């Protein structure tokens, strides 16, 4: 799987954040201000520099990151979805809650959004406004079709849980989250057999049942799927 990610990048939400125009001024030898320039600065760039990544200007969070390095030694959720899909919007909210709680526990988990939106503007809106602070495959990247074929994606939303080498942990990531909440990550982690398994498992032990109850109450009662063809989509509620 590392070969698939070779020389690939993921987008971060920083790529789609609105940029603030900030004037830059310099003084000449006579104390007069001249040479006014403008630069684009996003909100996160005011918090200080971070480690350099692909696409990073050194002034804030990177807009692009190396694909394999960002998912190495983690449990990965490949999230196939689209903004036009109502069940996708509903599950995205639940997935975002789960993701944020796992990140609070420093769990080795990452989500990679793979868009089936028909327009890049729809993808941008969906990703930047409704998703968690996870990663995305670039829109219409050739690897999207490779992953769609490899994991036999027939309907969306679909959450495939894998190891960084591409080995499938479960094809029912969505159902796991809906049925079990955050506690399902413990099972994924055990199957992944990562070196960071022990400390992460401990973070889910004491309050696991409480977390599970809280998230399951907010989950969708019936699983819905959106079947799609090349240019025609239909919603099927099961």
Question: Tens digits of per-residue pLDDT, 177-213?
Answer: 999 999 999 999 999 987 544 444 444 544 544 444 4
Question: Tens digits of per-residue pLDDT, 98-137?
Answer: 999 999 999 999 999 999 999 999 999 999 999 999 999 9
In this prediction, residue 60 has a pLDDT band, given cuts at 50, 70 and 90, of low
Question: Tens digits of per-residue pLDDT, 75-102?
Answer: 999 999 999 999 999 999 999 999 999 9
How far is it, in rounded angstroms, from Cα 21 to Cα 195? 44
Residue 230 and residue 118 in contact, taking contact as beta carbons nearer than 8 Å: no
User: How would CATH label the architecture of 73-237?
Assistant: 3-Layer(aba) Sandwich (3.40)
CA torsion through residues 36, 37, 43, 45, sign: negative
Domain with CATH 3.40.30.10 in the chain: 73-237
Share of the chain above pLDDT 90, in %: 55
From residue 33, how far is each of 22, 27, 108 by CA, in Å?
15, 4, 50
- pLDDT value of position 84: 96
- pLDDT value of position 6: 82
- pLDDT value of position 7: 85
């Amino acid at each position: 799987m590392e070969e698939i990610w070779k020389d690939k990048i993921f987008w971060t939400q920083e790529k789609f954040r609105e940029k603030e125009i900030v004037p830059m001024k310099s003084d000449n030898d006579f104390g007069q201000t001249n040479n006014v320039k403008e630069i684009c600065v996003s909100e996160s760039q005011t918090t200080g520099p971070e480690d350099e990544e692909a696409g990073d200007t050194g002034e804030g969070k990177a807009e692009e990151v190396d694909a394999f390095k960002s998912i190495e030694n983690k449990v990965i959720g490949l999230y196939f979805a689209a903004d036009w899909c109502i069940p996708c919007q509903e599950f995205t909210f639940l997935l975002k809650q789960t993701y944020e709680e796992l990140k609070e526990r420093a769990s080795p988990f990452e989500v990679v959004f793979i868009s089936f939106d028909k327009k890049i503007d729809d993808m941008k809106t969906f990703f930047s406004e409704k998703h968690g602070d996870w990663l995305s495959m670039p829109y219409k990247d050739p690897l999207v079709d490779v992953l769609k074929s490899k994991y036999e994606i027939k309907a969306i939303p679909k959450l495939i849980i894998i190891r960084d080498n591409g080995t499938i942990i479960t094809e029912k990531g969505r159902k796991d989250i809906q049925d079990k909440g955050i506690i399902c990550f413990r099972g994924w982690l055990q199957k992944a057999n990562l070196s960071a398994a022990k400390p992460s498992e401990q973070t889910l032990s004491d309050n696991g049942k409480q977390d599970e109850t809280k998230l399951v109450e907010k989950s969708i009662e019936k699983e819905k799927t959106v079947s799609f063809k090349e240019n025609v989509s239909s919603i099927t509620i099961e």
